Amino acid sequence: MANRRAGNLVAKHPPKRCDVCGRVFVPHSGRALYCPMCRIKGRRWIKEQRKGMAANERA
C-alpha cells in the first residue's frame, strides 16, 4: 500500500499517461500502458485485422 496517495484511497497504483492518447488514468495493474478506451479500440483493430486475413485466405 506504499503507492497510495492522499485523496486516492482505493487506487493501488499511481496514475499513468496513456501511450496512445496521453490521457491520465489509474491502472488496475502496475504494467498497464493504455487507458481503457484505447485498449478497447486496440482490441477491435486486432479483431478486424484477423477477419480480413481470414477472408483473404479463403479467396
Q: Does the structure show a pLDDT above 90 at 45?
A: no
Domain segments of the chain: what residues? 16-58
CA distance 50 to 8: 40
> What average pLDDT score do residues 8-30 get?
85
Mean confidence (pLDDT) of the chain: 81
Which candidate, 3, 2, 32, places its Cα nearest to that of 19? 32
Q: DSSP per residue over 38-50, as a string?
A: HHHHHHHHHHHHH
pLDDT at 17: 93
> What average pLDDT score do residues 6-14 get?
72
Q: Does the structure show a pLDDT above 90 at 24?
A: yes
Tell me the percentage of the chain whose pLDDT exceeds 70.
83
Burial per residue of 11-39, b for 16 or more beta-carbon CB atoms within 10 angstroms, e otherwise:
eeeeebebeeeeeebebeeeebebbeebe
- How many angstroms separate the first and last alpha carbons of the chain? 55
pTM to 2 decimal places: 0.58
